[in-house]
Chain A
Amino acid sequence: MIGPRTFLEYQNYRYLKVALAIFFLSLAAYVFDDPPGGRSGSSWTGYGLGTIAAAIIFWLMWLGVRKRDYASAGAPLKGWTSAHVYLGTMLIFLVPLHSAFEFGWNVHTLAYVLMLVVCFSGILGVAFYALVPTSITRNRNNITLDAMLERIAEIDAECRMAADGLPDYYAQAVVTSIDETRIGGSVRAQLSGHDPDCGTSLALKSLRMSKIDLAGDAKEQERKLVELIARKELLLKQIRRDVRFKSLLDLWLIVHVPFAFATCAALLVHIFVVFWYH
């Protein structure tokens, strides 16, 4: 994984400076240009800024190809990512200069709106990459997800043994705790980080509410069972937090990439229409 600090600070913020330079030059062109009919996307300055913006967009798309090309001998991926973030963010401000702040209910503004979704999901992605990995590490506490799941399986087996000689009420609780506990699932379930219908929580609740008076060995078994299920519940909370953090790292990209392609489609329609009806 690319550390956020490293790619944002790449080469002493080289691409932040490049992005700012492009933006301020464009701003100057916009401010000092005074075409006869007023500023617009179809003045020479407008065409120029639009060409720059479109070129940047298509270049940004190329990151998807570049990041899969592990054998590339060109600039390091860190540099690409740095430029991707800064130039992409700059587009939010460059495109309105191109259109001279004219927007409407049309495919031209649609291209900009789609691009905004891409830009802001990207910014969200950068923010997630800056914050979430630390949370993941802290939450895992040096245990892998697989190890946590293995531990759950062990607890399940222990529960089965512990419940073996206990009344049906306990057996039922253990069955619920095993069969009704799900991890992950729908996008919402993964993002929420908890499951209101978690079988383990239900089982723990019912065990604690048990009114059956057990004696001797059975009582010892019961105590052991409750302890096992309680431990399982804690472990599940930890696992679900982990799932939530990882889904955050994935979610923005599921928005970012499809909208980027939709933006390109809208951009092509925009360019086609503008030059068709010149």
Chain B
Amino acid sequence: MRVRLTEIRLRPTGKKVRLDRDLDVESLFIGRGPDNDLSLKGLTISLHQATLRMADGRLYAEAAPGQEVNCNGLVSQGERLAIGDVLKIGSWELRVIEPTSVGEFDVALEYEETDRGEDERAALDARVRLGLESGAFAMRPLAWAGIVLVLSLFLLLPLAWEGAQSPWNTGDVSRGHAYIENDCQSCHSGLFRPVQNQDCMTCHHDIGRHAPQTMSMEALDDASCATCHLEHRGRQVDLADLGAGFCADCHSDLASTLPATALRNASDFGDDHPPFQLALVTDPAEEAVSVDVTPDLVEVSGLEFSHLRHVGKAVSGRGDEKQYLQCGACHQPDAGGLYMKPVVFEDHCEDCHQLDFDATAPKNAVPHGDPAVIRDRIRGFYANRVLDGDVKDPAAPRRLRLRRPGKRLTADEAELSRKWVDGKVAAAERRFYERPGTCDLCHTLAPGAASDGGIGIAPVQVQEVWVPGSIFSHGSHAPFACVKCHPAAGVFDPEEDTSLARPSWSLEGAIPYELIPREPTTGVSTVSGDILIPDVAVCRDCHAGATASGGEKVPSPCSMCHPFHVRANGPMGTIADAEPAFVPPTPDADAAEGAGEIESGDSAAIHRALFRNGFGAHRDSAGSRWRDVRHPPFDRLN
């Protein structure tokens, strides 16, 4: 076949020139190799890429073995070609064109390098990408992203929606405040200003002063609650725990920090704490007085009682079962577990000490109380016997013994009855009031003290809270036997004087009790005047100062026993001259007066005020033989 090949070449001037070449070949070989009819440069072209051949007047392109031809963009092994078809070989284009002079050539082809490729360096540079920053991964966009992310998540979103404010919270609030944790405004009432005292006092409205109102303490009176009580420090943090040194700042040297007070210095429970001051009853008709514990101290309660004669004695329990009297039989903690409930005759004494008055009627007993009432009860009992015709007393006049019930008493019979009843009443009263007698067993008799002018009972005042300047919890000490702290009220081992089986000592609800071997040095309480309250040394068996390392003793900060805020002193921030806005939560008017009466420096009076107003006051009030015991203040917990 005769072929005209026309190469279109680009001159450096940019001008294209056509170079014709005529061939007469059987087939036209195309490839990179120089042995081809059409040799094209380019490494992507095979040494022998394709062959063009005429058959039956048509032109065919055939790919060499293992190669392909690209005709008009379609890749195949072979293709019939027509005028206008374009073959793409490497960077070359081969076009089939109309032969210019028909008959002279069978086929006319033109070819040119279309994809001339840049020089090697430019091609390489296109494949080199240096520098870490690209697109959004660059300092500036990343910085903006960080700013926008932080501000929108942690400022704008929480401002717009309270539910997203938790990241603002610097820490959990204490357990007691957890219920208002999400209500920021309940404490933070004003924006851009600190928490105000009134924010706290919305709930804690009766929070007490530390010292009596007569003592001005600027540092405390002007302090804000938040100065000492830091919130947002975790659920378990005790807002009232201000560390070991807090109290000692003032109390280690009161002579210089507060000369007006007569309180003694205290800076560490283990090393520097004065002896306990007791609220002691020295005259049952008077208020208790504040005194130091001394060995010869005696309580005058108006009662006679011997622990020795009671504790550990075998008694008939309910169901006729033998039991030993133990502490819990009379001393039961109050519901809060702090102090002991008062001992009550009807609950604790009467089972053994019944107030019966007639041997023939042992189940008839008078109530414990006013002798005039008792006399009326006895008189009524015998008068009823007469009226019921039930006089069995062999010493009674015969006419009374034989009298039938229902008949009207004659004047004689009435006179006989009066005499007999008077005699019986006198006999019963002798049984009560003679010495030794029923009442005399525990009480001091006071002739003329009864409401009808008869023999009466001297006043009784039993102390329940002995150390009113502190809070002691019997409940917290429940694992220990009573005798650990009150040894003189303990007992001998009953095995020594009884053949009864060893009893179970732990009654339900009782303070655990155990027997101690009695040592020669252990005191024995035989009279009610004995002071069985332990002194500071006994507490120090287990309690050390706040800074103690533990291991052997309980590190004990001041606040373990002493509340800082004392409601009886009036509200925080008020002094004596100020308007008494504070009304103590008690109907007892004396309590309100109490704070004002105190002479500064009279520590006994201070204790008495605490004692009366805050810490379980004992006040006789009409109609109640037992004094009102109020709950100790919650202040310590506030």
Residues on A lying within 8 angstroms of B by beta carbon are: 34-38, 40-42, 102, 104-108, 110, 114, 149-150, 152-154, 156-157, 160, 163-165, 167-168, 171-172, 174-175, 178-179, 181-185, 187, 190, 243, 246-247, 250-251, 253-254, 257-262, 264-266, 268-269, 272-278
Bound form: Cα–Cα A40–B230 in Å: 8
Q: Is the CB of B143 within 8 A of A258?
A: yes
- Whether A175 contacts B193 by the Cβ 8 Å rule is no
CB neighbours of A172 from chain B (8 A): 43
A257 CB contacts on chain B under 8 angstroms: 139, 142-143
Whether a CB of chain A sits under 8 angstroms from the CB of B11 is no
Check B170 against A108 for contact (C-beta < 8 Å): yes
Taking CB atoms, residues of chain A closer than 8 Å to B137 are 187, 254
Is B230 touching A187 in the complex (CB atoms < 8 A)?
A: no
Chain B, residue nearest A156 (CB): B120
- A190 CB to closest chain B CB (Å) equals 6
CB–CB A266/B233 < 8 A:
no
CA separation between A91 and B127, bound complex, in Å?
A: 44
Residues of B contacting A108 with CB < 8 Å? 170
User: Is A275 in contact with B124, judged by CB distance below 8 angstroms?
Assistant: no
Question: Does B589 reach chain A (CB closer than 8 Å)?
Answer: no
**Docked pose: A278 CA to B125 CA in angstroms:** 60
Given contacts A37-B227, A257-B139, A269-B155, contact A150 B121 (CB under 8 A): yes
Complex Cα distance, B49 from A167, in Å, reads 12
Nearest-neighbour CB distance to chain A for B258, whole angstroms, equals: 17
A-B contact pairs, 9 of them (CB 8 A): A35-B227, A37-B242, A110-B167, A153-B119, A183-B129, A260-B143, A262-B149, A277-B191, A278-B192
| Chain A min CB distance to B183 (Å) | 12
Find out whether the CB atom of B194 lies under 8 angstroms from the CB atom of A272.
Answer: no
Interface residues of B in 114-134 (CB under 8 A from A): 119-121, 123-125, 127-133
Give A104 to B243 CA distance when docked, in angstroms.
Answer: 23
Tell me, yes or no, whether B246 is within 8 Å of chain A by CB.
yes
Instruction: Say yes or no: B168 contacts A273, CB within 8 Å.
Output: yes
- A167–B47 CB distance below 8 A: yes
CB-based closest 6 A-B pairs: A262-B146, A37-B230, A258-B142, A153-B121, A265-B150, A171-B43
Select one of A154, A184, A273 contacting B130, CB under 8 A.
Answer: A184
Bound complex: CA A176 to CA B226 (Å): 75
Nearest-Cβ distance from residue A71 to partner chain B, whole angstroms? 23
A269 touching B154, Cβ below 8 Å: yes
* Contact (A106, B169) CB under 8 Å given A266-B154, A269-B155: yes
Residue contact B139 to A37, C-beta cutoff 8 Å: no
Given pairs A36-B227, A273-B168, 20 additional interface contacts (CB within 8 A): A36-B242, A36-B246, A40-B233, A102-B171, A106-B169, A107-B167, A154-B120, A171-B44, A171-B46, A175-B43, A181-B124, A183-B129, A184-B129, A254-B133, A259-B146, A261-B147, A266-B150, A268-B155, A269-B151, A277-B191
Q: Which chain B residue shows the least CB distance to A111?
A: B150
Q: Would you give the shortest CB distance from B340 to chain A, in whole angstroms?
A: 36
B41 sits at the interface (CB 8 A): yes
B146 touches A261 (CB 8 A): yes
User: A184 touching B170 by the CB < 8 A rule?
Assistant: no
Alpha-carbon distance between A41 and B143 when the two chains are bound, in angstroms = 28
A38 touches B242 (CB 8 A): yes
Q: Is B32 an interface residue (CB 8 A)?
A: yes
Chain B positions within 8 Å of A, measured between CB atoms, are 32-34, 41, 43-47, 119-121, 123-125, 127-133, 137-139, 142-147, 149-151, 154-155, 166-171, 184, 188, 191-195, 223, 226-230, 233, 242-243, 245-246
Tell me the bound Cα distance from A65 to B322 in angstroms. 95
- B151 CB to closest chain A CB, in angstroms? 5
B305 to chain A, nearest CB (A): 47
Nearest residue (CB) in B for A274 is B170
From B125, B133, B144, A149 is in contact (CB under 8 Å) with B125
Known: A149-B125, A190-B132, A278-B192. A254 touches B168 (CB 8 A): no
Q: Is the CB of A107 within 8 A of B168?
A: yes
Closest Cβ of chain B to A164, distance in Å, is: 7
Across-interface contacts of B124 in A (CB, < 8 A): 149, 152-153, 156, 181, 183
* Chain A residues within an 8 Å CB radius of B150: 110, 114, 262, 265-266, 269
CB distance from A195 to the nearest CB of B (A): 11
In the bound complex, residues from chain A placing their C-beta under 8 Å from that of B230 are 37-38, 40, 42
Nearest A-chain residue to B147, judged by Cβ: A265
- Shortest distance in angstroms between A108's beta carbon and chain B's nearest beta carbon? 6
Q: Of all chain B residues, which has the CB nearest A183?
A: B128
Task: With CB as the reference atom, state the residue of chain B lying closest to A246.
Answer: B130
* Chain A residue with the shortest CB-CB distance to B145: A258
Which residue from chain A places its CB closest to the CB of B122 in the assembled complex? A153
Q: B residues within 8 A CB of A278?
A: 188, 192-195
B228/A105 in contact, CB under 8 A: no
Asked whether A174 lies within 8 Å of B128 as measured between CB atoms, the reply is no
**Which residue of the partner chain, among B46, B121, B130, B146, contacts A183 with CB atoms under 8 Å?**
B130
Which B residues lie within 8 Å of A269 (CB)? 150-151, 154-155
Taking CB atoms, residues of chain B closer than 8 Å to A171 are 32, 43-46
User: A268 contacts which chain B residues (CB < 8 A)?
Assistant: 151, 155
B588 to chain A, nearest CB (A): 34
Query: Which of B195, B228, B230 has most chain A Cβ within 10 Å?
Result: B230
Q: How far is the CA of A254 from the CA of B141 in the complex (A)?
A: 10
User: Closest residue of chain A to B31, judged by CB?
Assistant: A168
Select A251's contact among B132, B242, B243, beta carbons within 8 Å.
Answer: B132
Contact across chains for A34 and B245 when beta carbons are under 8 A apart? yes
Task: Note all chain A residues with C-beta closer than 8 A to B193.
Answer: 278
List B contacts of A40 (CB < 8 A): 230, 233
Residues of A within 8 A of B121 (CB): 149-150, 153
With the chains together, A276 CA to B121 CA distance in Å? 62
Complex CA gap A110/B121 in Å reads: 49
B229 touches A182 (CB 8 A): no
CA distance A55 to B492 in the complex (A): 75
CB distance from A194 to the nearest CB of B (A): 15
**A27 to chain B: closest CB distance in Å?**
20
Which residues of A lie under 8 Å from residue B131 when comparing CB positions? 184, 250
Residues of A within 8 A of B144 (CB): 261
Residue numbers in A under 8 Å from B223 (CB-CB): 36
Shortest CB distance A198–B (Å)? 11
A157 contacts B192, CB within 8 Å? no
Question: Is A258 within 8 A of B120, CB to CB?
Answer: no
Residue of B nearest to A266 (CB): B150
User: A258 with B43: in contact, given A37-B229, A38-B230, A278-B192 (CB under 8 Å)?
Assistant: no
Taking CB atoms, residues of chain A closer than 8 Å to B142 are: 254, 257-258
A165 touches which of B34, B119, B123, B229 (Cβ 8 Å): B34
B228: contacting residue among A37, A163, A184, CB under 8 A? A37
Residue numbers in B under 8 Å from A275 (CB-CB)? 192
In the complex, how many angstroms separate the beta carbon of A172 from the nearest chain B beta carbon? 8
- Contacting pair B171 A104 (CB below 8 A): yes
Docked complex Cα distance between A7 and B45 (Å): 59
Residue of A nearest to B149 (CB): A262
In the assembled complex, how far is the CB of residue B221 from the closest CB belonging to chain A, in whole angstroms?
14
Most buried by B among A110, A152, A175, A262: A262
Q: Closest CB-CB distance, B248 to chain A, in whole Å?
A: 11
Minimum CB–CB distance for A262 against chain B, Å: 3
Contact A107-B171, Cβ < 8 Å, known A258-B143, A261-B143:
no
In this complex, what residue of A is CB-closest to B133? Answer: A254
Closest residue of B by beta carbon distance from A41: B170
A244 to B128, alpha carbons, bound, how many Å?
Answer: 13
Residues of A within 8 A of B242 (CB): 36-38
CB–CB A106/B139 < 8 A: no
A164 to B166, CA, bound (A): 72
Residues from chain A with a CB closer than 8 A to the CB of B130 are 183-184, 190, 243, 246
Residues of B contacting A150 with CB < 8 Å?
121
In the assembled complex, the CB of A155 is this many whole angstroms from the nearest CB of chain B, namely 9
A250–B132 CB distance below 8 A = yes
Find out whether the CB atom of B127 lies under 8 angstroms from the CB atom of A183. yes
Judge whether B233 and A102 touch: CB under 8 Å: yes
Bound Cα distance A82, B576 (Å):
62
Selected contact of A250 from candidates B133, B170, B227, B243, CB within 8 Å = B133
